[in-house]
Structure 1
Amino acid sequence: MERRLDAGAMIWRNCCISLLLLIMLVSSSTGQLTASFYDVSCPDAQATVKKVIRQALQTDSRIGASLLRLHFHDCFVNGCDGSILLDDTSSFTGEKTAPPNLNSARGFDVVDTIKTQLESACNGTVSCADILAIAARDAVVLDGGPSWTVQLGRRDSTTASFNTAKNDIPSPALTVPQLISKFQAKGLSTQDMVTLSGAHTIGQARCSSFSGRLYNFSGTGKPDTTIDKTFLANLQQQCPQGGNTNQLQPLDLGTPTRFDNQYYRNLQANKGLLNSDEVLYSTSGTTNSLVVSYAGNQNTFFDSFQSAMIKLGNISPLTGTSGQIRKNCRVVNT
């Protein structure tokens, strides 16, 4: 009797697994992402990603911001397909050396560590594009921010685009109308733009990204008048004319390694580091009102950030039989 029950239980278990695999296959072939994509094929995938990031944060407080930025820059170039991770070769120029990424995109070694561990546990299963999506979420959570359910099932591109990275990734010098246009081109709203800009509550930027505001704003030969005078004087000291343009300054003056709503409070105090930050508040209209709302209520910002990150991660993913699952995130499978 016990053997018959055991056999019946085993048949039931196998049927359930087969049904789940079938559902995953159908979802993949129809281009739909699903939170349960690796539940059977690599059940420890998300735990592995989080473990590696937690370890990396112990020696590099910037890594959370860097991983979040990698996902954003990846998705803005032909969709969330892991293309930013591809190294240049003698016959191929990828996105790493495009102006928005050159000498600033980082965290590739952490992605390599994650991929190596996942390949050991689940060979050829978890895509590099999905690693970036999970890593972005976990980076935010480990830095004190909100969590969200990451939709999975992306596959990796076999190409990358230097020119698209150069042209599509928003510049720190853009105005509000230009920022809105860049984000709308990716299916993201004005609110998404202001919300995702809040990622600048962690991380740093090079002097070259904002020095124009300090000395010759818009060709006037004078600093940007919207900058708080004390803040301006400090930035000029840290980023002198003719100095090291790769010198770093925190994007969030108050809590640069904690994911919170301090970024928006900085904007209200005219202490936004980048022009693309400060214009969100200094320009009247929707962006200004959103800055005020997020500065006044961190939960409102967190709720909006969760939704915006899910939308970002859904930009033109490769699914089904498109692309591939790279064995090494830096190179296309041979």
Structure 2
Amino acid sequence: MLDDRDLDQRKAAILRAVVQQYIETAQPVGSTTVAARPDVAVSSATVRNEMTVLEREGYLAQPHTSAGRVPTEKGYRFFVDGLGGVDSPSPTSIRAVRDFFASAHGELESMLRETTRLLSSLTHSAAVVVGDAPEVADVRSVQLVDLSPRTVLAVVVLSNGVVLKRTFDPGPEFPDGLSSDDLADAQSLVVQGLVGRGVATLATWTAPPGARGAVVADAAADAVRLAVAEAGQQVFVDGAAHVAGSFETRETVEQVLTILEQHFVVVSLLKELIDGGLTVAIGSETGVETLADCALVVAPYSAGGSPAGAIAVLGPTRMDYAETVSTVSVVSRRLSRMLTEGRPGEG
């Protein structure tokens, strides 16, 4: 059996032509159509012979006896591996991404939700954006804000861009409310004790007993612990309508939509794939049986150099890989830059 490296130039060109034609038309591809493409400089008879070899070696399949060929999972993998470096997406996509991040603002939840919508609209596929759970992040800053005599707001910014907010009562020790010095002392303690450390530190941290501001600092830490517990994993999905129009059978559509609704499955899947950076998983490579007719393009994003989550596009195996891969790549880079420089939710 031929190894991918053993495909000669002609077979490789014919296989790429079949995949590209099928991506464009969703119809089985015949030898005459392939021979007419400018990147295939041989007769239709030669193409037909080579397609027979490619079918025998598992790169192509013939759905019906008299029909043309369609790519197999192995054929798509050869095509994707041959794309080489990530090119720029179309000018329209570049402009849309640039305009989106130029005007993006607000807190992280809104940013990720809108990024999901952007990805879906550009790729005409389902899009997923996952933000890491707060527990895996570090504390970047803590701010205590005196809202009223009996109410203090704790604001914590994490390394993954998440902003946690929660109000608390400073306690009966301050019947007339906090003074500015009381608040400053507490602020100093929580900054010294928490900033630069993992969120897991919150579970055991207490202010030094007897220190000025310790009572308020402990109340602030309790408030933030509650905010972390309530925050959970952030998962945003968009593009269900695109799924409905991307697959031939209703059963496949329903299976894909069910997977997208099961956020714990989506999160686990993306975590398994992003270790290698920008990744394309085709069919069985996703490890999920019901995604056999799907391809998944995944990329991590970061905030301040720390992992912050993943973005992904889920579509049919005949997706436009070159455009989708380049779009996911540029969006992940721009989102990382925005979270590092812009810090949604700060300021």
User: Larger C-alpha radius of gyration, 1 or 2?
Assistant: 2
Q: TM over 0.5: same fold?
A: no
What range is the shorter-chain TM-score in? Answer: under 0.3
TM-score of the two chains, using structure 2 as the length reference: 0.24
